[in-house]
Amino acid sequence: MKGNRTSNACLSNTREKMNDQERANILMVDDQPGKLMSYEAILGKLGENLIKARSAREALDHLLHNDIAVVLMDVSMPEIDGFELAEMMRQHPRFQKTAIIFISAVHLTDLDRIKGYRSGAVDYISVPVIPELLRAKVSVFAELHRKNRQLERLNSELEKRVEERTAQLRENEDLLRERADLLELATEAIFVRDMNGDLLFWNSGAEALYGWKRQEVLGKPVHQLLQTRFPTEYSDIEAVLAETGKWEGNLTQTTREGQEVIVACRKALKVGGHAVLEIVRDITAQLKAEDALRKTERLAAMGRVAGIIAHEINNPLEAITNTFYLLRDHPSLDEEARYYAKLGEEELLRVAHITRQTLGFYRESKHSVEVSISGLLDEILELQARRMEFSNIILQKHYRSRGTIQGFPVELKQVFLNLIGNAVQAMPDGGTMRLHVFESTLGRSGRPAVCISICDTGTGIDPEHAKHLFEPFFTTKSTKGTGLGLWISKGIVQKYGGAIRFRSLSHLNCNLTCFQVFLPDVNFQDSTDSGLAGSMAVEEISGVGHGG
Amino acid sequence: MGAERITILVVDDEEIPRMLRKLILQKQHYHIVAAASGKEALELLDRGGIHLVLSDQMMPGMLGTELTKTVKSTWPELPVILISGVNEIPADASYADRFVSKVEGPEPLFKAIAEVLVNYGHTL
């Protein structure tokens, strides 16, 4: 009893595990319903799907509509007997491999069996049927059928997978071809290097950026070729790359022409970790533009601040200046007090000088006038004459141009007073100042211009300082300078549509510092259609026409 | 010298600068009256006897240029000089006869006043 229950439980488990697809169809054919019922009782335990047919005809109908694993059939049946049914099945290609078990109540001769085998039968069971035997036989065939079906499924799946994979490969190939085209189209420089840094791939973007052709660089160490400067230790980059598979940062590299470029670089470790893909974008121009913008913004902000401060200083300044004016000849002051007042007034002039420079573009008149450059320079030289004499400065003066320009004398005077004043101050122990005025052209536009060149053999300018010369509040004169002179001068010159250039030569103990101011020659203005002219300068000139 | 016969109205909202400007001009022998606002200046002008207005630009209530416009519309023959510490000449500064900077010091101011007075037919 105990064992029986256990086996039942096992079978029901098996039944539960088998889904419909796994369950095999067993077709039982017999003209006697009682027999069909007894087969059903015997085979029910197998958990397969049992189908009953009362005649060969009915059996054929089931065969056509279902996938039958085993046919269990009585040999002797009216109309079509078992052998005839088997014969019919064998003629149909779908049923050639279907297992058939004959059940025969009469003794079967060997001849009968051979006949059965011929018609494709696989097994015989004689009556009385031993349930275990029948179950075992049916079970083997059902299992065989299932295995066959599984094999077929696997086969078709395999075929499907092969098909899919082939399609995928074809797609990949297209994709790769497309990617290769994209790589060539990309404006970014794209290259692949191995772990030693030797180049494996180099796209046309890289050719364009760095100047080397693909065939020239493949196999060469890329970062030596490009003289790459990394923002951190190279080993750190390698470590990040190994750990995360990626790295991003800006690099400084050198092109074939020897030009330095700043690039935004993305590195990615290729699958397998034996090569690195680097995508590089030239951001030199972008950085320059950003830097210029920042500088311009800073200058504009400083200009505004300077204006506000100047205004706040100017009010009390006027009061103090007036106070000193009143003190100057006051009868109650003795010699000593008057001397102190004089010192105070002199120092105050320095403050006034600074604020006047900061005020910058203060104009006496609204309309520009014709200004003689040589006259203007002579006026300034006269102001500086005593100082130059005192410092043993030799003046070489060459005015080779008519040198008249349209403008505001006060502004222009400020420009040259700054430049000549700087030159004089740079030669406290003597030297030579060369002042040249000649006709020239303005930068790339080629517009006619007057060039005023001021050179001195003074202390020279440190190359470190050179790039900051035209920035506000930059001074090399410690407390004596406002740091605004050249900044304001540049502003004025630019307003006229002109340019200011600086050069410094140093040889042994001799320094030569040259400032060149280019001012567009307005006499050529009408005939030259130049879009590059400063708009303000043009406006002022037309203003003059109206004012007479 | 005919400066004694000339009366200048000095307008400034700040007391000390106003007083000092008055003092330096008195030293040039001008007769000075002072006002602390545009409104006060117009009241004094109504009484007559003023030959020139010297006004600060940045004043609360009424700007120097606003005062100038009012003065010029009422007394077109009265010269006005604006004095300022601002670093940009205001757009309507042209209503005044001159626009002088505070930074220039006393002498350029005297010169400007004298020139304007001569332009208006005064003999100094």
Task: Read off the CATH number of the domain in which A233 is found.
Answer: 3.30.450.20
pLDDT at A482: 59
A320 within 8 A of B85, measured Cβ to Cβ: no
Domain carrying residue A298: 288-359
How many inter-chain contacts (A to B, CB under 8 Å) are there? 67
Q: Does A356 touch chain B (CB under 8 A)?
A: yes
The last residue of one of the domains, among A234, A255, A282, is A282
Residues A260-304: tens digit of each pLDDT: 999 999 999 887 778 899 999 999 888 887 877 777 677 667 766
pLDDT at A177: 82
Q: Are residues A123 and A6 in the same domain?
A: yes
Q: What angle do CA A138, A139, A142 make, to 5 degrees?
A: 85
Contact A315 B17 (CB under 8 A): yes
SS3 state at A504: strand
Q: Are residues A382 and A523 in the same domain?
A: yes
Q: Does B91 touch chain A (CB under 8 A)?
A: no
Q: Is A120 left (phi over 0), alpha (psi -120 to 50) or beta?
A: left
Question: Between A284-328 and B15-27, two packed helices, what is the crossing angle to 10 degrees?
Answer: 50
Class in CATH terms, B3-119: alpha beta
Give dist(CA A65, CA A71) in Å, integer: 14
Amino acid occupying residue A464: E
Q: Are residues A272 and A296 in the same domain?
A: no
Residue A56 lies in a domain: yes
Q: Does B21 touch chain A (CB under 8 A)?
A: yes
Residue A174 lies in a domain: no
Tell me whether the omega of the peptide bond preceding residue A128 falls within 30 degrees of 0, making it cis: yes
Given B14, B23, B104, which is nearest A326 (Cβ)?
B23
Q: Are residues A97 and A208 in the same domain?
A: no
pLDDT at A480: 55
Residue with the two structure tokens 């009893």: A1
Give dist(CA A376, CA A450) in Å, integer: 14
A202's CB contacts (< 8 A; 6+ apart) are A191, A212, A214, A217, A218
Contacts of B88 in chain A (CB under 8 A): 307, 361
Give dist(CA A179, CA A173) in Å, integer: 10
Given A315, A326, A366, which is nearest B14 (Cβ)?
A315
Q: Does A355 touch chain B (CB under 8 A)?
A: yes
Q: What angle do CA A481, A484, A489 make, to 5 degrees?
A: 120
Residue of B57, B88, B103 to mutate, interface with A, max A Cβ within 10 Å: B103
The last residue of one of the domains, among A296, A329, A359, is A359
Contact A315 B105 (CB under 8 A): no
Residue A178 lies in a domain: no
Output phi, psi for A204, to 5 deg: -70, -25
Residue with the two structure tokens 């009682």: A34
Q: Are residues A495 and A542 in the same domain?
A: yes
pLDDT at A543: 28
A331's CB contacts (< 8 A; 6+ apart) are none
A261 within 8 A of A255, measured Cβ to Cβ: yes
Burial of A404 (0-12, 13-18, 19+ CB in 10 A): middle
Burial of A39 (0-12, 13-18, 19+ CB in 10 A): buried
DSSP string, A40-97: HHHHGGGT-EEEEESSHHHHHHHHHHS-EEEEEEES--SSS-HHHHHHHHHHSGGGTT
Q: Per the structure block, which two tokens stand in for A68? A: 């039958």
Q: Does A327 touch chain B (CB under 8 A)?
A: no
* The three-state (H, E, C) secondary structure of A135-178, written as one string: HHHHHHHHHHHHHHHHHHHHHHHHHHHHHHHHHHHHHHHHHHHH
The last residue of one of the domains, among A306, A331, A359, is A359
pLDDT at A120: 57
Give dist(CA A251, CA A236) in Å, integer: 14
The answer to whether the Cα torsion of A173, A174, A177, A178 is positive or negative is negative
Burial of B66 (0-12, 13-18, 19+ CB in 10 A): middle
Give dist(CA B69, CA B73) in Å, integer: 6
A297's CB contacts (< 8 A; 6+ apart) are none
- Which DSSP category does A378 fall into? H
SS3 state at A182: helix
Q: Does B77 touch chain A (CB under 8 A)?
A: no
Give dist(CA A294, CA A307) in Å, integer: 20
Residue A240 lies in a domain: yes
pLDDT at A367: 65
SS3 state at B86: coil
Q: Are residues A443 and A537 in the same domain?
A: yes
Contact B88 A322 (CB under 8 A): no
Helix or strand run (H / E) with residue A414: helix A409-425
> What is the tally of structural domains in chain A?
4
| Long-range Cβ contacts of A371-374 (<8 Å, 24+ apart) | A371/A404, A371/A405, A371/A406, A371/A407, A371/A408, A371/A409, A371/A412, A372/A403, A372/A404, A373/A399, A373/A401, A373/A403, A373/A404, A373/A405, A373/A412, A373/A437, A373/A450, A373/A452, A373/A519, A374/A399, A374/A403, A374/A437
Q: Is A508 left (phi over 0), alpha (psi -120 to 50) or beta?
A: left
Residue of A362, A366, A411 to mutate, interface with B, max B Cβ within 10 Å: A362
Q: For chain B, give every domain's residue range.
A: 3-119
Q: Are residues A355 and A377 in the same domain?
A: no
Give dist(CA A546, CA A454) in Å, integer: 35
Give dist(CA A360, CA A382) in Å, integer: 23
pLDDT at A179: 78
A122 within 8 A of A100, measured Cβ to Cβ: yes
Given A311, A323, A326, which is nearest B27 (Cβ)?
A326
Provide the b/e sequence for B8-43 (b: ≥16 CB within 10 Å).
bbbbbbbeebbebbbebbeebebebbbbebbebbbe
Q: Are residues A418 and A316 in the same domain?
A: no
Q: Are residues A296 and A393 in the same domain?
A: no
Given A319, A323, A362, which is nearest B101 (Cβ)?
A362
Q: Are strands A123-126 and A99-104 parallel, antiparallel or unpaired?
A: parallel
Residue A438's CATH number:
3.30.565.10
pLDDT at B96: 92
Residue A166 lies in a domain: no
Q: Are residues A39 and A108 in the same domain?
A: yes
Give contacts of B 56-75 with A, CB under 8 A: 58
Nearest Cα residue in chain A from B94: A366
Give dist(CA B121, CA B124) in Å, integer: 10
Q: Are residues A36 and A14 in the same domain?
A: yes
Given B16, B104, B106, which is nearest A325 (Cβ)?
B106
Question: Between A409-425 and A485-495, two packed helices, what is the crossing angle to 10 degrees?
Answer: 140
Q: Are residues A225 and A273 in the same domain?
A: yes
Query: Which residues in chain A come in under a pLDDT of 70?
Result: 1-21, 107-108, 115-121, 296, 299-300, 303-304, 306-307, 357-367, 402, 472-473, 476-483, 522-548
Per-residue pLDDT 10s for chain B (124 aa) are 467 789 999 999 999 999 999 999 999 999 999 999 999 999 999 999 999 999 999 899 999 999 999 999 999 999 999 998 876 677 788 889 998 888 888 999 999 999 999 999 888 7
Could you give the C-alpha distances from A109 to A51, A103, A116, A124, A469, in angstroms and in order?
A: 29, 13, 11, 11, 124
